[in-house]
């Protein structure tokens, strides 16, 4: 049994088949990239997994549990975190409180305890804070702890998105174009972090990416999509030489 599995996943908007009977599996501890031209349905697959969209048909399994019908907020609770292509940070909050929201799935305190800020709440806060500090150290975010997001440059925000997802201590992380809008150096930093996530934190990575150099550097396997269908699946080199993939990108 695979760690994460999508079976015949479809998403139709009226007559448009954004995702059309896509099946794939992610093994524990691997980095799987999804590539494809614009509008191929890559981000739609992510939105199906994080339940922003409801699939027209098909099922999603995680750790042998059917999560197709789970409410969106429970997906994070199960250990699946994600980042967003266009950055969905909490603009008017500090970096620290953004990252602490990432800890939300681990919060156990009740409302009345929080109103009184009982010792248990304080103790929990310190645990959260320590975990957040580990992520801050991992991603070199020390200079930004108390800064507001709205004053930070794009490249830093992108890293904070990754950090927020990591703060939830996910088992599976969905990265939606982690390198979009980043320069060459930032992209290479990102590739190191993605590999470290896998090797040091033991996180399984499912990634949508356009930058082929990043895909080649980090991916164990690649899936190529076009018009909502799987064109090819395999190692990065295999997929890039697949005639259908070449045709999709260059136009045959």
Partner 1 sequence: MRFLFKTDYEDDIRLFPHSGYVVSYGILLAVLLIAPYVVSSYLMSQLVFVCIYATVGVALLILTGFTGQASLGHAAFLAIGAYTAAYLQKYGVPFPVYFLAAGALTGLIGALVGFPALRLQGIYLVIATISFAFIVEEILARWESVTNGNEGMRVKALSLLGVTVSRDSPAFYFLCLAVLVLTIVGTLNLLRSPTGRAFVAIRDSETAARSMGVNVALYKVKSFAISAAITGFAGVLFAHKLSFISPEMFTLQLSIEFIIVILIGGTFSLHGAVLGAIFIVMIDPFLTYLKDDMPGIIAGMAATFGAGTQSAANVQSKVAAFASLNGLKGAIYGIIIVLFVLFEPLGLYGRWLKIKLFFQLFPLYKRATFKRQKIYVKSERNR
The answer to whether 201 contacts partner 1 (rule: CB under 8 A) is no
The answer to whether 86 contacts partner 1 (rule: CB under 8 A) is yes
User: Strands, E, within the chain: which ranges?
Assistant: 4-13, 16-26, 31-35, 57-62, 65-66, 80-82, 172-176, 204-208, 221-226, 229-234
Nearest to 218 by CA among 4, 24, 33: 33
Residue span binding partner 1 (CB under 8 A) among the ranges 2-10, 127-135, 188-196, 208-216 = 127-135
Smallest gap from Cβ 65 to partner 1, in A, equals: 16
The helix or strand, by DSSP H or E, that contains position 5, with its residue range, turns out to be strand 4-13
The answer to whether 122 contacts partner 1 (rule: CB under 8 A) is yes
The answer to whether 69 contacts partner 1 (rule: CB under 8 A) is no
The answer to whether 82 contacts partner 1 (rule: CB under 8 A) is yes
Range 158-187, binding partner 1 (CB under 8 A): 164, 168, 181
Q: Which member of 130, 199, 250, 251 binds partner 1 (CB under 8 A)?
A: 130
Opening angle at CA 187, ends 185 and 189, nearest 5? 70
Retrieve residue 169's tokens.
Answer: 């201590």
Instruction: Name the DSSP class of 148.
Output: B
Q: Which member of 25, 67, 101, 201 binds partner 1 (CB under 8 A)?
A: 101
The answer to whether 13 contacts partner 1 (rule: CB under 8 A) is no
Range 33-52, binding partner 1 (CB under 8 A): 47, 50, 52
Q: Which is nearer to partner 1, 115 or 252 (CB)?
A: 115
Q: Which member of 9, 18, 48, 75 binds partner 1 (CB under 8 A)?
A: 75
The helix or strand, by DSSP H or E, that contains position 233, with its residue range, turns out to be strand 229-234
Distance of CA 108 to the CA centre of its chain: 24
Nearest to 239 by CA among 219, 222, 215: 222
CA dihedral over 106, 108, 112, 114, signed as positive or negative: negative
Which residues neighbour 150 within 8 Å (Cβ) at sequence distance 6 or greater?
Answer: 91, 92
Q: Which is nearer to partner 1, 50 or 240 (CB)?
A: 50
The helix or strand, by DSSP H or E, that contains position 176, with its residue range, turns out to be strand 172-176
The answer to whether 28 contacts partner 1 (rule: CB under 8 A) is no
Binding site for partner 1 (CB under 8 A): 47, 50, 52, 71-77, 81-82, 84, 86-93, 96-97, 100-105, 107, 109, 111, 114-117, 121-122, 125-126, 129-130, 133, 150-151, 154, 164, 168, 181
């Amino acid at each position: 049994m695979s760690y994460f599995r999508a079976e015949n996943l479809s998403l139709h908007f009226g007559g448009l088949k954004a995702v059309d009977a896509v099946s794939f599996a992610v093994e524990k501890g691997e980095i799987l990239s999804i590539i494809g031209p614009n509008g191929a349905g890559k981000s739609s697959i992510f939105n199906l997994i994080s339940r922003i969209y409801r699939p027209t048909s098909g099922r999603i399994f995680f750790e042998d549990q059917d999560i197709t019908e789970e409410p969106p907020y429970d997906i994070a609770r199960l250990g699946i975190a994600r980042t967003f292509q266009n950055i969905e940070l909490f603009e008017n909050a500090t970096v620290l409180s953004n990252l602490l929201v990432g800890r939300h799935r681990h919060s156990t305190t009740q409302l009345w305890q929080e109103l009184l800020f009982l010792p248990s709440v304080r103790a929990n806060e310190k645990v959260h804070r320590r975990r957040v500090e580990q992520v801050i150290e991992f991603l070199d975010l020390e200079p930004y702890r108390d800064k507001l997001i709205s004053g930070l440059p794009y490249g830093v925000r992108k890293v904070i998105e990754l950090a927020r997802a990591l703060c939830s201590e996910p088992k599976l992380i969905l990265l939606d174009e982690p390198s979009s809008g980043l320069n060459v150096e930032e992209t290479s930093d990102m590739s190191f972090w993605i590999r470290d996530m896998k090797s040091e934190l033991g996180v399984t990575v499912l990634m949508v990416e356009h930058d082929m150099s990043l895909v080649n550097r980090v991916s164990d396997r690649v899936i190529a999509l076009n018009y909502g269908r799987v064109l090819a699946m395999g190692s990065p080199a295999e997929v890039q030489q697949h005639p259908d993939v070449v045709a999709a990108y260059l136009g045959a």
